[in-house]
Amino acid sequence: MTMQIVRVNVASPVGEWGIEGTVHGVTMVRMPHQSAPPTDGPVPRAVSAAARQLAQYFAGKRTAFDVHFADVAATAFQLDCWEALRDIPFGHVATYADIGAAIGRPLAARAVGNANHANPWPILLPCHRVVASTGLGGYGGGLDVKRYLLALEGVTYAK
């Protein structure tokens, strides 16, 4: 039996973000270029909490998230990388190599980047705070969005 996925949208200065989930938790955050219309019907508690917290983040009133995530298909390596993202504080960055070292894979910087790209919960699990050792690095939402998110947190990157 499949659970109905519910979607709500959250406005931001860089576009509309979609929060999707079920009664089991948030299943995904859609970046502005992936936006889709909201769904009708009751909104599960985790989805409404995530939407409220994301709106607070964009308003400059939240620096950390307390959201229940649904189980998603992922490798053990991806899960380790995503868990390490929780340790990067608001207003700080870490390199892909830093994340690799934190999970016991110091030579896996490129694989960390791929795991970040697969992160189903951007911002809530702050993959935007991971940068390359030579500059900004990449971001699934685009570099302008990454720069905006970092600037919102007081971090600027020119590259």
Domain residue spans in the chain?
A: 6-58, 76-152
With both helix axes pointing from N to C terminus, report the angle between 109-117 and 76-85 in degrees, rounded to the nearest 10.
80
Beta bridge partners of 95: 131
> For the segment 126-142, what is each residue's pLDDT rounded down to a tens digit?
999 999 999 999 999 99
For residues 111 and 130, give the distance between their C-alpha atoms in angstroms, rounded to a whole number. Answer: 13
CB–CB of 59/105 below 8 Å?
A: no
Q: ∠ CA(74), CA(68), CA(105), 5° rounding?
A: 40
How is residue 152 written in tokens?
A: 């919102």
CB–CB of 15/32 below 8 Å?
A: yes
pLDDT value of residue 159? 58
Which pTM does this prediction carry? 0.93
> For the segment 71-115, what is each residue's pLDDT rounded down to a tens digit?
999 999 999 999 999 999 999 999 999 999 999 999 999 999 999
State which CATH number among 3.30.420, 3.40.50, 3.30.160, 3.20.20 fits the domain covering 6-58: 3.30.160
Fold of 76-152: Arc Repressor Mutant, subunit A (1.10.10)
**Using CA atoms in the order 26, 17, 31, 99, what is the torsion angle rounded to 10 degrees?**
-60
For residues 87 and 121, give the distance between their C-alpha atoms in angstroms, rounded to a whole number. Answer: 15
Q: Is residue 157 predicted with pLDDT exceeding 80?
A: no
Burial of residue 130 (number of CB atoms within 10 Å: 0-12, 13-18, 19+)? buried
Marked catalytic residue, from 127, 145, 149, 152: 127
Whether 81 is catalytic: no
Q: Which run of H or E residues covers position 46?
A: helix 45-58
